Structure 1
Amino acid sequence: MMPKGKVHLVGAGPGDPELLTLKAARLIASARVLVHDRLVSDAILAMARPDAVLIDVGKSPKRHPVPQEAINEILIAQAKAGHDVVRLKGGDPFIFGRGGEEALALAEAGIACEIVPGITAAQGAAASVGIPLTHRGVAEHVTYLTGHCRADQPLDVDFSKLADSDGTLVVYMGLATIAEIAGQLLAHGLPSATPVLVVNRATTDRERHLLSTLAEIAEDVAASALEGPCLFVIGAVAGLAGRLGRIRDDATVFAVAAQ
Structure 2
Amino acid sequence: MTPTLQDMAWHRSAGQLIEHLDKTDFWRSLSRLIGEYVPVDTWAVLLFSDGRPFAFAESPYQGEGPDPLFHDYIRGLYLLDPFYIANREQPATGLYRLADVAPERFKETEYYERYFTHYVEQDEVQYNVKLDEARSVCLSLGTRQLFTPEQISLLEMIRPWVVGLMRQRMFFESAMAESVPRQAPRWQDNLEEAMVRLGTPLTARELDVIRLILSGCSNKEVASKLSISAETVKVHRRHVYAKLNIKSPQELFSLFLKAQVETQ
Common fold by TM > 0.5: no
Q: Give TM-score, length-normalised by structure 1.
A: 0.25
Bigger relative contact order, structure 1 or 2, given CA contacts below 8 A and separation 6+? Answer: 2
